[in-house]
Structure 1
Amino acid sequence: MNNAEHKTATKDKIPLLEKLFYGVGSGSYQLSGDGVKSLANPIYNITLGLSPSLIGLVLMISRIFDAFTDPLIGRWSDNARSRWGRRRPFIFVGSFLAAAGFVMIWMVPASWAGQTQPLFIYYLCTMLLFYFCATIQVVPYHTLGLEMTADYDERTSISGYKMVFSFAFSLLLPWVFRLAQSEAFSGDTMAGMRYLSYILAGVIIVGGILPAIFVKERYYKVAQGQAKTPFWLSARQTFANREFLVLTGVILVSSFGPSMVGSLAPYIIYYHMYGGDTKAGAEMAAIGANVFSVAAILFTPLIVRLSSKWGKVKVMQATVWLGAFNSVMTLVLFTPERPWLVLVYFFLQAPTAGFWVVTTSMKADICDDDELRHGTRREGMFGSVGGWIAKVGLSLTYLLSGVILDVTGFNVELKGAQSPDTLWEMRMLFAAVPLVTALLSLYFLKKYTLDRKRMAEIRAQLEARRAAI
């Protein structure tokens, strides 16, 4: 069947309200998960004076810990049997726990500023607590999305709603550091951060519980009748799936470069473009991030449409090529002479969010491929093991990001008097590293084989074996 001729059958379409409620859940974990990463350096380095290398070490340790808890929660939810389903009880409870863990990170006493040991210990302990709580919400939430429909294109549509709400909620995050510095808090940035964290926690809770209440688990009846799979057998079968390994490799390689140097962006804006004026820099960074989020929301329906017309792999290739081009363009667009050009960078970066729209849909396809091979639905293990591989692999980038900042010679005490060599090294690394990893991910993408034709064959065989979903 030609891609352009495909139409989703009425029985496979998910009601609009259910898609919206599922999408809201992504905003919840986006606020908490991206919040602890994006606010790490502004609060713990710029405000409290903790070394970037130590911040990177905390992020690395906590993400490794998070990676090892993912498969445990994934397998637990795969094997759960309750009157409310396999996933929804975890999402509901986890939303409250994640919100509480998020608030605790910013309760560090401001009087500890400049004191390395207590800052490091408090930051590490609260980050470990946060990631454990967030895992209870996030792994079953992602898994629930993989179970909502059996249709090849409707899966991408659901992923699109998820991405739209992720970006919508992300509009709040870039302003947090700027608002925390406002006169309303009498110049006490930590007091501002603590106050704002309560507001964000409320949004995390509300966004988190809506999918737990209103989204159906369509594969629950299938799962109820299957035997509970031992953890190590389930893990071994997951790692044996070739398409899963290829896709995970693409995600890991594509993410490695931006994750390693992404934290340099605000520093380049603050210190290269604005000469150390963190208020003005934070304001421009916030505007840029909002341009990205709004543009990504607008581009998402186009990405979903193109995925249906071109196929998922071609759309992914296009987004990776655009990201590589935009990385090189940062050498031109991040300039103190015309600071507004940075907004062009953020706008051009928006379509690359389509990468995540498509990969989420592809994970659901892989779960069908696995059911055909082994006769069980194991979305939880695929979601969590994929997360485990990515988080263990990317945890090194959190340490490297801090080390890179130190190696460039950045010194927070110098404020706007940073060395020109330091600023140039930041800019070169920010441009070059994502370019290299983008080219590697394009190589791996050529090995992925679950296209529309193959997925139609798999679905036909599954529905001949068991009832249609």
Structure 2
Amino acid sequence: MSSRPDPAVSPAAAHAVSVRQKLAYGVGAVATMLGKQAPKQFAFQVYNIELGLAPHLVGAVLFLARLWDAITDPWMGNFSDHFRSRWGRRRPFLLAGALLSGVGFALLWWFPLGWSELAYFAYFTVLAMVFYTALTLYAVPWYALGYELSRDYHQRTSVMAYAAFFGTLAQIGVAWLYWLMKQPMFDSAMEGAKWVGIGAAGVLTLSGLVTFVFVREPALPSPPPPSAGAPATRSTWHNTRQAFRNRPFLILTAIVTTILMCNSLVAGLMPYLNIYYVCGGDKTTAATFIGYNGTVTQLVGLIAVPAMNRYSARHGKIRTLRLAFLFAGMGSLSTWFLFVPAQPYLQLLCACLSGFGLTAIFMLCHAMIGDVCDLEELRHGTRREGLFGAVYGWAFKLGLALAFLTAGYLLLWTGFDATVGADQAPETLTSMRVLFAVIPVVGYAVSYWLTSRFDLTQERLQEIRAELERRENLG
């Protein structure tokens, strides 16, 4: 029987992914987004605001943990690309990573009270390193699996749209973690942090197991025979250097790293602005608005997923990405005018604009990794979704690590003093507001310019896909 595709079947239909598979893959985004977002938001709320650990020490822990995370990602990606087992090359790591990440996340917040600042710093450092190692075990293969589920330009966006939908639901939950730990059912906020952490850890593990159980890995294209004298498997370092020679990949990585760095520099300021500026030091009321803000951001993001998916199918990913930058930039700038004590609900309008833009940005950029892998296969004959996803993660996690380290010192630079509570200096609050509004806009502007250098258009990808399928048919 011929192995060539049926000419009556369209290329898109040949590479279609079932709704069941998209759903099962998308549910796994809950684990990824909880693991990525909860520590960086919850850490300042628990360790700084409640425990009193200095903000630059919290930032230093997040810096070290994400720096370690960035180091382990490329190795994990390259390893999973070449791993073979009866369960596939990605799925065994999904199982181990989901279980270990859940345990590590719960332990992050399960510490005794009454320790010294140094003891809390040491505990947080060690557990953060353990947790992020376990998250790498899950997240890198999970992303790679999504990149390789389809080879069709628009199907890739559709797969990532499902992931964006469930990832958005996870971020809604993250927005309410601080509010949950402040509820009267707990004897104290710190007791609440422990049990909320356990609940979130259970959700993280279960969502990861859904992807492990229900998603099946696609068959791999046959690799070309190795050249005489060449090793069958290149080192992680060699493959990483080769990935950075891929110009569209380099530009795409720069776009995401720039946006994440600029947003992460000031993201931690949002709880402080709500507590000490909008709500006058009332932590419980501020926790409610933090929850509202995150919920509206993510709910609007849910609307953005199908809307931007359809817009991308008609106008292409680059044009859609530029539109998303404009929405997100307007959301950041509007915080200067809409974060006001007299009308606290106005800040939700900022959340609407930012949520629409940011959800679309990350959905599209992840979909474009699969496109980059097509170009790599055309040039070198092999697909390395795991490595490319990991190197992509390595770059922006290194940026995140630097942002977290800087963020703690940025808070100190504003003059913030946790010991004075609501009596923060007016200059401190003004500095926070300026930084919160302006720094992300700089990132969006730079990223908008970078898209003009990205030449992997829909037309070019159709040419690449046709050539790859011609080679497969000849083989």
Letter in 1 for 2:26: G
Structure 1 Cα separation of the partners of residues 11 and 434 of structure 2: 46
Structure 2 Cα separation of the partners of residues 416 and 230 of structure 1: 54
5+ residue gaps in structure 2?
1-9, 227-231
Q: What's the offset of the Cα at 1:397?
A: 0.6
What is the TM-score normalised by the length of structure 2?
A: 0.94
Q: What's the offset of the Cα at 1:232?
A: 2.7
2:197 equivalent to 1:197: yes
2:340 equivalent to 1:345: no
- Give matches, 1:417-432, under 5 Å: 417-432=423-438
- Give matches, 1:156-171, under 5 Å: 156-171=157-172
Letter in 1 for 2:304: F
What does residue 268 of structure 2 align with? 263
- Answer whether contact 1:98 1:133 (CA < 8 A) is retained: yes
Equivalent position SS for 2:437: helix
Structure 1 Cα separation of the partners of residues 350 and 105 of structure 2: 30
Instruction: Give a deviation string over 1:164-221, Cα, whole Å, max 9, x none.
Output: 00011222222221121211112x1111111112211111111001111211221435
Q: What's the offset of the Cα at 1:8?
A: 7.0
2:257 equivalent to 1:252: yes
Structure 2 Cα separation of the partners of residues 184 and 101 of structure 1: 25
What does residue 444 of structure 1 align with? 450
Q: What's the offset of the Cα at 1:225?
A: 8.3
Equivalent position SS for 1:171: helix
What does residue 140 of structure 2 align with? 139
Structure 1 Cα separation of the partners of residues 205 and 439 of structure 2: 36
Structure 2 Cα separation of the partners of residues 407 and 468 of structure 1: 63
2:39 equivalent to 1:36: yes
What does residue 174 of structure 1 align with? 175
What does residue 153 of structure 2 align with? 152
Q: What's the offset of the Cα at 1:431?
A: 0.7
Within the candidate set 314, 318, 325, 1:313 is matched to 318
2:397 equivalent to 1:391: yes
Equivalent position SS for 2:394: helix
Equivalent position SS for 2:114: helix
What does residue 131 of structure 2 align with? 130
Q: What's the offset of the Cα at 1:357?
A: 0.9
- Give matches, 1:257-296, under 5 Å: 257-296=262-301
Structure 1 Cα separation of the partners of residues 403 and 347 of structure 2: 24
What does residue 3 of structure 1 align with? none
What does residue 365 of structure 2 align with? 359
How high is the sequence identity, in percent, across the aligned residues?
A: 35
What does residue 209 of structure 2 align with? 209
- Answer whether contact 1:260 1:401 (CA < 8 A) is retained: yes
Equivalent position SS for 1:417: coil
2:440 equivalent to 1:434: yes
What does residue 90 of structure 2 align with? 87
Q: Pairwise CA RMSD of aligned residues?
A: 1.6
C-alpha spacing 1:269/1:224, structure 2 compared with 1 (3 Å): farther
Structure 2 Cα separation of the partners of residues 468 and 364 of structure 1: 23
What does residue 45 of structure 1 align with? 48
Within the candidate set 301, 309, 320, 1:304 is matched to 309
Structure 2 Cα separation of the partners of residues 356 and 225 of structure 1: 36
Give every structure 1 segment of 4 or more consecutive aligned residues whose post-TM-superposition deviation is greater than 3 Å: 219-227
- Answer whether contact 2:260 2:399 (CA < 8 A) is retained: no
Equivalent position SS for 2:423: coil
- Answer whether contact 1:78 1:381 (CA < 8 A) is retained: yes
- Answer whether contact 1:85 1:220 (CA < 8 A) is retained: no
Q: Which is worse superposed, 26-35 or 67-76?
A: 26-35
- Answer whether contact 1:8 1:154 (CA < 8 A) is retained: no
Letter in 2 for 1:405: L
Instruction: Give a deviation string over 1:325-380, Cα, whole Å, max 9, x none.
Output: 22111111100011010111111112111001110111000001001111111111
Q: What's the offset of the Cα at 1:230?
A: 2.7
Q: What's the offset of the Cα at 1:416?
A: 0.9
What does residue 460 of structure 1 align with? 466
What does residue 16 of structure 2 align with? 13
C-alpha spacing 1:325/1:25, structure 2 compared with 1 (3 Å): same
Within the candidate set 374, 378, 385, 2:380 is matched to 374
Letter in 2 for 1:92: L
C-alpha spacing 1:303/1:21, structure 2 compared with 1 (3 Å): same
- Answer whether contact 2:109 2:193 (CA < 8 A) is retained: yes
Equivalent position SS for 1:75: helix
- Give matches, 1:329-340, under 5 Å: 329-340=334-345
Q: What's the offset of the Cα at 1:432?
A: 1.1
Letter in 2 for 1:396: L
- Answer whether contact 2:74 2:390 (CA < 8 A) is retained: yes
Q: What's the offset of the Cα at 1:266?
A: 1.1
What does residue 60 of structure 2 align with? 57
What does residue 74 of structure 1 align with? 77
C-alpha spacing 1:217/1:276, structure 2 compared with 1 (3 Å): same
